[in-house]
Amino acid sequence: MTAQYHVCDGVAVITLDNPPVNGLGHSTRIAVVEGMTRALDNSAVGAIVLTGSGKAFSGGADIREFGTPKALQEPSLHTVIEIIEASAKPVIAAIHAVAMGGGLELALGCHYRLAVKGTRIALPEVSLGLLPGAGGTQRLPRAIGLEAALNMIVSGKTVPAERLADTRLFDQLVDADVLDAAIRFARHIAHTAETHPKVRDLPVRHANAEAYLGFARATVAASSGPFPAPVQCVEAVAASLKPFDQGLRGERDRFMQLLGTSEARALRHAFLGERAASRIADVPAGTPVREVAKVAVIGAGMMGGGIGMNFLNAGIPVTVLETNADALERGVATIRRNYENSAKKGKLTQEAVEARMSLLSTTLSYRDIQDADLVIEAVFEDLSVKEIVFRTLDEVMKPGAILASNTSTLDLDRVASFTRRARDVVGLHFFSPANVMKLLEVVRGRETAPDVLATVMQLAKKIAKVAVVSGVCDGFIGNRMLEQYSRQAGFLLDEGALPEQVDRAIEKFGFAMGPFRMIDMAGNDIAWAIRKRRAVERPDFNYSKAGDLLCEMGRFGQKAGAGWYDYKAGDRKAYPSAVVDEMIVRHSKDLGIARRPISDEEIVERLVYALVNEGALILEEGIASKASDIDMVYLNGYGFPKAHGGPMLYADQVGILNVARSMRRYAKGYQGHAWQIACSLQQLADDGKGFND
Ligand code: 3H9
């Protein structure tokens, strides 16, 4: 049973019992209705208390049921709330920890609500591409006022219960033991009141509703990008000014409409995918973890400093090691400057800046880091440099310390082989700027121990990263796929496109930044060096030569004031460059290519499908264990548009058959050999399935 029922001295207590957060799935809804029926049928029961077990009152509708028939099966959440609201016996919600989404809507259907102070209250459906669909858009404005409700519903933000203490949302806030308080309240109310209040009967208050809604409509429409839900939230809340049942019907229609959108599917996928990424098939949930109370970072450059900040932010002491005092001083100054900037923007108090800086220490000697529980190397990306570092770490670090490399391309198993403790070695690939970017690729070596993996996955949560496990291969999940994407971008130039067109097309699709603006920021010289290495390692793996010609012109990107684009001093804006465009056109001529107009649609397909095909190979090889892991890498580390849910989900939404058909067409074109369609992708196309089915 996913809800328990017991009677205690004239009060029936229905306890939601559906871990982890009492999601209101089908079986829970049935169990609540059964509890209500028993309570209403029992003449010895005078009042009913509805509460939740474990770590939440309720986190809302069961997100995992969306997209399945169970989501809409009766009793729906509407029906459950209707039964509660219509009950002749008073129903009291006893709320603790979390009341979100459908959970809050359920509480709003009760006659009275008691909550523990500090309870997190939200209608966060908008973050899932939805609106509150079980009366929230109608009852919350009645309980807390139009404007406050609209703000909560459009932003999806969580507020502590105390902030709503003066509203009709709560009848009492208590310090602890809300169930006990609710039972006492229930006994009292059962004997003293004849009728019990319903939120639906309250008026919606606002001094100037029409003007306010006009303002809200305009601002929300301007800021919601490709997502339809925020605007729909405003309209649903606006309808709360109408008679209750009319508003409720409107809410239902809008909810159903949003539920089927690709944006809602993408956001749901992101929510569940982030959490699924932390589950590793052969590392069971209860695997013991190592304590990480002290961290050391080797290298005080931009990467090392950013990595260190993550731990300082989480209250974990960090020692940064460098080879010379100047580099250390510069590194510490950069960390302080970053914090001071956050303080200037009001994101941190000065005390918090000092508290974080006080956890930071520096050293030039490995002896001072030997008792760290985790050491992360962020030195120059060269195997011989890493070898020196890891041989030294093996000598000095205490037994059981986790030895991590921030390598983005090198073979982690080689790195581990420089030590006599390969089980303790793991890759922690942070993305720049490391204190900002959410993604952490956790690279699992051949011998990495399960408890090391479990420890770093848990630690990743503590430092607010989305951690995804990758096997060992060149570029791991993210950069390996990016290489195919970049290759296609280059080939498009050879055939007829210009950098600005490619960037514009993919940015219109929703990417934060197109490939040419991105590489100008990262440095064309870095990509050039990788291509030179590749030419030796894999001579069959070709690229457009336009990137090399660009580097030969000294156009290394923003840092050189010139790259694929022109840049002006003190301005990061990219200006199309006539010189570069000329070079590209000349290069096509030298290749004997008659340049052709290329549509934006082709640009998007070739770039995104190149990611998809490599993603499919990565799955086949077991480098990533599930398609959603790949999507989490791209959503959190590479600026893939959230509205599309990642390359693999996007392919599913387009239909794998259509994707494969386009790939076959491109395989017949210029540099068609780059389209070696992955067998697994072809198989899915043949079976009419998707990567995420
Ligand atoms: C809705 O209510 C629609 C209605 O308006 C209308 C219906 C008709 N369902 O985040 P955590 C799981 S839409 C199922 O790591 P935390 C989650 O997957 C819903 N499962 O923990 C994870 O599972 P696992 C509106 C859920 O303590 C585990 O719980 N509600 C749900 O950091 C722990 O999650 C929301 O959008 C759910 N609703 O945070 C609330 N929620 O361990 C979304 C969580 O197997 N949830 N899980 O990987 C949250 O914001 C946070 O999870 C919460 C707990 C604050 C509740």
* Residues recognised as catalytic: 105, 125
Sheet of strand 11-16, all strands in order from the earlier edge strand to the far edge: 3-8, 11-16, 47-52, 91-95, 112-116, 172-174
Helices and strands, number each (H, E), in the chain: 27, 19
Q: In what order do the strands lie in the sheet with 360-363?
A: 360-363, 318-321, 295-298, 374-377, 402-405, 425-430, 439-443, 466-470
The answer to whether the beta carbons of residues 97 and 226 sit under 8 Å apart is: no
Q: For the chain, how many residues are written? A: 693
Give me the phi and psi of 414, to 5 degrees please.
Answer: -65, -45
Between CA 550 and CA 571 the distance in angstroms is 21
Q: What is the pLDDT of residues 505-525, one digit of tens each?
A: 999 999 999 999 999 998 999
In this prediction, residues 573-592 reach a mean pLDDT of 97
- pLDDT tens track for 347-385: 999 999 999 999 999 999 999 999 999 999 999 988 999
Q: Can you tell me which atom of ligand 1 is nearest the CA of 131?
A: 5
Q: Is the per-residue pLDDT at 1 higher than 90? A: no
Q: Which residues pair with 7 in a beta bridge?
A: 12
- Residues touching ligand 1 (Cβ under 6 Å) are 20-21, 23, 56, 59-64, 77, 98, 100-102, 105, 124-125, 128, 132-134, 136, 272, 275
Helix residue ranges per DSSP H, 208-366: 209-223, 229-238, 244-259, 262-276, 302-313, 325-344, 350-358
pLDDT tens by residue, 295-333: 999 999 999 999 999 999 999 999 999 999 999 999 999
Which residues share a beta bridge with 403? 375, 425
Q: Give pLDDT, residue 615.
A: 98
CA of 554 to the centre of ligand 1 (A): 51
Kindly state the average pLDDT of the residues 244-257.
Answer: 98
CATH topology for 3-259 is 2-enoyl-CoA Hydratase; Chain A, domain 1 (3.90.226)
Residue 50 CB coordination number (10 Å) = 28
Confidence of residue 207 (pLDDT cuts 50, 70, 90): confident
Nearest residue to 122 via CA among 108, 111, 142, 112: 108
If you average pLDDT over residues 578-602, what whole number do you get?
Answer: 98
CA-to-CA dists, residue 518 to 482, 506, 606, 678, angstroms = 11, 12, 17, 27
Tell which atom from ligand 1 comes closest to the C-alpha of 132.
5
Q: How confident is the model at residue 640 (pLDDT cuts 50, 70, 90)?
A: very high
Q: Please determine whether the domains at 3-259 and 487-687 fall in the same fold group of CATH.
A: no
Please give the structure tokens belonging to residue 113: 């609500």
Superfamily in which the 295-470 domain is placed by CATH: NAD(P)-binding Rossmann-like Domain (3.40.50.720)
Residue 160, SS3 per DSSP: strand
- C-alpha pair distances (Å), 468 with each of 213, 457, 474: 42, 8, 16
| Residue ranges of domains in the chain | 3-259, 295-470, 487-687
- Cα angle: 219, vertex 225, 229; to 5 degrees: 80
How far is ligand 1, taken at its centre, from the CA of residue 22, in Å?
Answer: 9
What's the confidence (pLDDT) of residue 282? 93
pLDDT for 535:
83
CA-103 nearest atom, ligand 1: 2
- The count of other CB atoms within 10 Å of the CB of residue 499 is 27
CATH class of 487-687: mainly alpha
- Counting ligand 1 atoms within 8 A of each CB, the residue from 21, 28, 108 with the most, and so the one to mutate, is 21
The whole model's pTM is what? 0.95
C-alpha 20 – ligand 1 centre gap (Å):
8
What is the pLDDT averaged over residues 592-610? Answer: 98
Helix (H) or strand (E) holding 7: strand 3-8
